[in-house]
Structure 1
């Protein structure tokens, strides 16, 4: 039986692009099992593609093949790459930074440049703008179904040659934790940071504590308020903000039954910073 093939892209589902990728995969092996991670990555947003892989990959079994196509450099000289993670999953993607979070938090055991001449959908040689269909979905299906081995996708390359985006690490200094807003919990508008739960313990912050939360964009302060650190949304009233630990063990900020991101026009990325510290009686 073939391994699972999991697809991610910024294509959306309003046209036939994703369906075409499915069709190519089924043309390789009609028994292949295909799943969608997401096709709603914001266009060209390599950072979010990297984060969504981190959010998902560890929960799939060994041997699963992921295809991630967020590719603003399609048709250029950028490499196509296939990696084997430390926990034995495979990811096929443009080598443009999409593997940043996986490399940092899970580890990459082996990396190979995808030989696009030998791993390409037959009769697609004159197409240069849909590598997701012609190269990535095709190669992913062949790898997942055992038509080719990992070693046959192309030559091995040094792990330190894999492209990475700048990755900020959260820190604790003088009782204040500083991190970035890495991504949104899109449907609900919650803010997900890179501040790990362990930093809260190190700062002696416990459930029920009142925290001063400050959010900035570059040099501008966008938001500052006091809120409760709760176990769940039940620890706050509807419409109230709260701090909580999300499903990746990192700090999240939300409005109970509301969108924090929409309410305060908050974005994501290394330029969006957040600091938290215990509130004292002099805050007001």
Structure 2
């Protein structure tokens, strides 16, 4: 039986690019089960592509093949790779940092580099700008359908050689925890931090406790206020901010039925820092 094939890109769905990837995969094997992780990654945003893989991959079965194409360096000397995770899943992607969160959190067992020219859709001709269709979807479909085998495809390279984007770890400093805003829960405008719930609980946390929350963009403070730590959004009034544990077991910040990111013009990435300190008297 064919393995599941999951696509992620920054192509959007306003034209035929993603449909063409589906067509290539279906031509390789009409029985393939093809799914979309997302095609709304912001253009060229490798960091978000890496995070969305991390957000989703643990909920897919062993053997699933992921194709992630956010590739501002298409046609350059950057490598094309297949990585096998510790849970025996596969990710086909340009080696440009897309595997950063998988490598750090989920774990990568082995990596193979493959020749783009030798593994290009035969009908692509002289085009070298649509690798998502001509190389990654084509290779992903062949891997998912069993036409090629990971252990006998391409050349093995050290896992350590895979390109990583910089990550600033979260930490505890005396009576507060500090981290960065990794990504947004885009549709709702919630902030997802890299602060693990275990680190947060080192502050002696109970639901209902109030915390001083500080957000800065490099050295410029954007937000400083207090809010409650809640089990869910409904625990506070509509329009009120809250701290909560998100679906990845990290600390999130939200406005109940509102967009925190939009309300305060909050962004994401390594220059967006956030800290939490429990208000005195809330033990």
Q: TM above 0.5, one fold?
A: yes
Contact 1:9 1:39 (C-alpha < 8 Å) held by counterparts? yes
Mark the runs of 5 or more structure 2 residues left unpaired by the alignment. Answer: none
Native 8 Å contact 1:207 1:229 kept in 2 = yes
* Partner SS for 1:118: helix
Q: Give the conservation status (yes or no) of the 8 Å contact 1:2–1:33.
A: yes
- Distance in 2, matches of 1:111 and 1:138, equals 18
Residues 202-213 of structure 1 mapped to structure 2, 5 A cutoff: 202-213=202-213
Query: Does 1:258 pair with 2:268?
Result: no
Query: How far 1:201 moved relative to its partner?
Result: 1.5
Name the structure 2 match of 1:21.
Answer: 21
Q: Which residue of 2 is the match for residue 73 of structure 1? A: 73
Alignment of 1:54-133 (within 5 A): 54-133=54-133
What is the CA-CA distance between 1:120 and the residue it aligns to? 1.2
Which residue number in structure 2 is paired with residue 279 of structure 1? Answer: 279
Query: Match of 2:76, SS?
Result: coil
Q: Cα distance, 1:115 vs. partner?
A: 1.8
Q: Using the TM superposition, give the Cα deviation of residue 168 of structure 1 relative to its aligned residue in structure 2, in angstroms.
A: 1.1
User: SS in structure 1 opposite 2:135?
Assistant: helix
Is the Cα–Cα contact under 8 Å of residues 116 and 135 in structure 1 kept in the other structure? yes
Aligned-residue CA RMSD (Å): 1.1
After TM superposition, give the deviation of residue 151 of structure 1 in Å. Answer: 2.4
- Give the match for residue 40 of structure 1: 40
Runs of 4+ in 1 over 4 A off after TM superposition: none
Q: What's the secondary structure of 2:151's corresponding residue?
A: helix
Q: Which runs of 5+ in 1 are unaligned?
A: none
User: Bigger shift: 240-249 or 195-204?
Assistant: 195-204
8 Å contact kept, 1:180–1:271: yes
State whether residues 82 and 153 of structure 1, in contact with CA within 8 Å, keep that contact through their aligned partners in structure 2: no
TM-score by length of 1: 0.98
Deviations 1:204-252 (A, max 9, x none): 1221100000000011000011000000011100000000000000000
Query: Match for residue 160 of structure 1?
Result: 160
Q: Distance in 1 between matches of 2:92 and 2:206?
A: 41
Question: 1:125, CA displacement in angstroms?
Answer: 4.2
The secondary structure found in structure 2 opposite 1:136 is helix
